[in-house]
Amino acid sequence: MTEMTIVQVLNTLTFKELAAMHKHYGGGFDFNRGPSGHPNWGKSAAIEYLMQRHTPQSLRDVAFTVTQNTQQPKPEQTETKTMTTPDQQAAVQNLLNTFGISTGPDEARIREIVAEAIASVEPTKVEYHVKRFDGSTVKVDGHVRPEFKTILRDAAAGVNILLVGPAGCGKTHIAKQCAEALDRPFASVSCTAGMSEAAFKGRLLPVDNGNFRYVQSDFVRLYRNGGVFLIDEADALDGNVALTLNNALAGNGFNNDLIIDGDTFVPRHPDFVCIAAANTFGTGANAVYAGRERLDEAFLDRFRAGRISLDYDRELERQAVDGRLLKWGWDVRKNITDNRIHKVLSTRFLMEATKLLTVGATHSEMVDRFFADWKSDDRQRVDVAV
């Protein structure tokens, strides 16, 4: 059976249950009335509001918690106990000891069995063969996550794409896979608040006799000749630099005043695709991603039709992560969400830790490294035995 999307899950909830989810995340305003200034507040607007601020996996977990809390309590069950005398209990215990049978649960063994079961699950292997416009077919290497088909379709259509997801969930990797599947060059730039326009428009370098030579950027090169360009950490992009990209992303070309040795107009190649990757929807810094910028609405509108939410890919983690570490990671990740702690446990960390386990690191060492910057009381709220 196909798993419901997060939109379908949220649409099954009542408005009261959506309000409970909002309260779970800390509230901040009267959910029945909506945020200040919202013109058409209702269930659809409430769902969109929640999706813009929280990851699909977090929403799915909180929705499950909310619906469980709103269910009718189960009728109390009576327990029938068989009374035994101390002599009988001692005789039974002696018999069990004789045969080496433990009467209590061995938690370490139980966890070991669970980890072995997770590791033994044969992951679903799906091969993606993409038929290109020229009729050739290419097999996409590596793990392909479920959203790839949609992202590739949008990229082939030339739509600007915004991938939004938590740190270390594979946004950069999937952008590279799109370039590979489309047989187009790939380049990227990582954004910061202090970056300049040169990262996108190019640079003027001094040469002999006081003259200057224009050096084009990767963005201009792919924009002119075709390719897939990734604006990584897009929600950390300097606001003024973002505005310089508006014409390029909205039209069929833009004027580049830095070009001094030819036509300043740079035409957009039909095979150019712009993908932006971000941890937020451009709404600014939050408790988890403190280095984010609030992006201009005009810039965000260039990506409106191509917005795609990503979360941690459990199928990839099942394939690539050590079984014991994986069980621990999934439990801790759920506890982080349930306790509303502003931290992430990424696929990237689990995969890097697995590499270290293969060269002699211990599970407890990896756990201690993960919690190295945590407050002790927060760790106690989420940590489990590994």
Predicted confidence (pLDDT) per residue in 105-140, tens digit = 555 555 556 555 555 555 555 565 565 556 666 667
pLDDT of residue 65: 77
- CA 22, CA 62: separation in Å to the nearest integer? 10
- The residues with which 229 forms a beta bridge, in sequence order, are 187, 274
Which regions in the chain score pLDDT beneath 70?
1-3, 28, 36-39, 68-90, 92-139
Q: What is the pLDDT of residue 5?
A: 80
- The predicted pLDDT at position 1 comes to 45
pLDDT digits (tens, 9 = 90+) for 139-190: 677 788 889 999 999 999 999 999 999 999 999 999 999 999 999 999 999 9
List Cα–Cα distances, 359 to 327, 354, 355, in angstroms.
20, 9, 7
Alpha-carbon span 330 to 344, nearest angstrom: 11
C-alpha to C-alpha distances, 272 to 1, 248, 268, nearest whole angstrom: 37, 11, 7
Cα-flanking dihedrals φ and ψ of residue 249, to 5°?
-80, -20
Tell me, what's the pLDDT at 78? Answer: 46
pLDDT of residue 74: 44
State the pLDDT at residue 85. Answer: 64
What pLDDT is stored for residue 80 in this prediction? 45
pTM of the prediction?
Answer: 0.66
Q: Which residues pair with 212 in a beta bridge?
A: 206
> Could you tell me if 171 and 310 are in contact, meaning their C-beta atoms sit under 8 angstroms apart?
yes
- For residues 244 and 201, is the Cβ–Cβ distance under 8 A? yes
Instruction: Determine how many CB atoms are found less than 10 A away from the CB of residue 55.
Output: 21
pLDDT on residue 99:
62
| DSSP string of 93-130, one letter each residue | HHHHHHTT--SS--HHHHHHHHHHHHHHS-PPP---EE
